Structure 1
C-alpha cells in the first residue's frame, strides 16, 4: 500500500485570479500588436475616378498618364500617354495598376519596400538624388489603355514598318515631299 502525503492548498487571495487573467490577455494583445507592426505596409489604391471593364494583367503593357510624388508632395517624375510593361516596373507599381480599370484615375501609395527600397534613386545624367532611400511613393495614374505584351510588340513592329515605308516613299504619305500637301504645285526656285 502506498501512502499519499497531503499538502493543504492555500486559498487564492480575492481578485488574484482576475489579475492573472488580465495579465495573460495583456501579454497576448502586446504580442499581437508587435507582430502586426512587423508586417510591411501594403500598396494602397484609391479611386479618384472609377474606370470600367477589366483590369490589366501582371505582364500587360499599359498606356498611362502619371505623376510620381514623394510623401511630402515633391514631384519626381511625370508622363503623358506613356507605355509601360508592368512586369518591368517596381513591384508596388505593378501590384497597384492591376487593380485599376480602363478610363479610371487613381492614387497609388507604395511603401518603400515595394518601391525603390533603402538606397537613393539618382538622376543618371546629373547624379542628383531624385528619390531619397526609404521613401514611400505616391502616384496619380490615369489608365488610358492596356494590351498584352505580344500585342504591343506586334503594333510597334507595324508602326516601324509604316515609318520605313514612308521614308522610302519620300517621307510623307502618298509620296509627297514632307510639308507639301499632295497635289500641290512645286514651289519655283528663287
Structure 2
C-alpha cells in the first residue's frame, strides 16, 4: 500500500495572530450591537424610571429639579404665564406606547388648576411656543386613573402649544363684563 504525500505549505508568520485579532473584533462588534439593542429595549419597555433616565440622555431634552422633562420644538416670545393666569393651549396627550388619551385644539385652562407637571411646563413656555413634555407619574395623576384610556402610574407625554394667556385680573374683568351684558352671546336670555 502506498500513500501519496502532499506537502503542506507552512503558514506565513503572523497569519494566526491576524485570525485571532479578526475573531476578537467580530465578537466585540457583536457584543456592542447586542448591548445597544438591549439598552433600547430596556428604555422602551423598562420601568418609568428607566424610560425617563434614557429619555433624559436624548438631544435637546431638559430636565427640571422636579423631574419634568421637556424639549422646545418651537420657542415662543414674551413673558411666561404665572400660576394664577389662564392659558389658552392646544395639546395632545399620549402614553409611552403612543395611545392618545386626551387632545384639544384650543382650550382655556387655569395654569394652577392642572396636574403639577403640566402647570410647571406652562410656566416655562412663552406665547406661540411649542413644547414636548414628559411628566413623571408623581407629577401627573400618580396612582389615580382619571379614565379608562390612562392607566394609573403612567408617564404623560404631551405636545403643547401655548396660544395665549391672560392674567387673573383680566379674567375677572371679562367675567364681570359678561355678567353685565347678560351672559354669553347666543346663550339663553336672562331670567330663563
CA distance in 2, matches of 1:165, 1:73: 38
Describe how 1:147-186 pairs up with structure 2 within 5 A. Answer: 147-162=166-181, 164=183
Q: Which residue of 1 aligns with 2:104?
A: 79
Which piece of structure 1 moves more, 147-156 or 72-81? 147-156
What is the TM-score when the length of structure 2 is the normalising length? Answer: 0.58
Q: Structure 1 unaligned runs (5+)?
A: 1-36, 123-128, 172-190
1:44 corresponds to which of 69, 79, 98:
69
Aligned to 2:135: 110
CA contact (8 A) 1:68 1:76 kept: yes
The CA RMSD over aligned residues, in Å, is: 2.5
Query: Which of 143, 152, 156 in structure 1 is aligned with 2:162?
Result: 143
**Separation in 2 of the partners of 1:90 and 1:166?**
31
**Structure 2 unmatched ranges of 5 or more:** 1-52, 54-64
Answer yes or no: is 1:133 the counterpart of 2:133: no
Q: Deviation at 1:160?
A: 4.4
1:13-52 map, 5 Å: 42-52=67-77
Between Structure 1 and Structure 2, how many residues are aligned? 125
Q: 1:162 to 1:130 in 2, by over 3 A?
A: same
Matched-pair contact (CA < 8 Å) for 1:50–1:104 = yes
Per the TM alignment, residue 119 of structure 1 is displaced from its structure 2 partner at its CA by: 2.5
TM-score, normalization: structure 1? Answer: 0.59
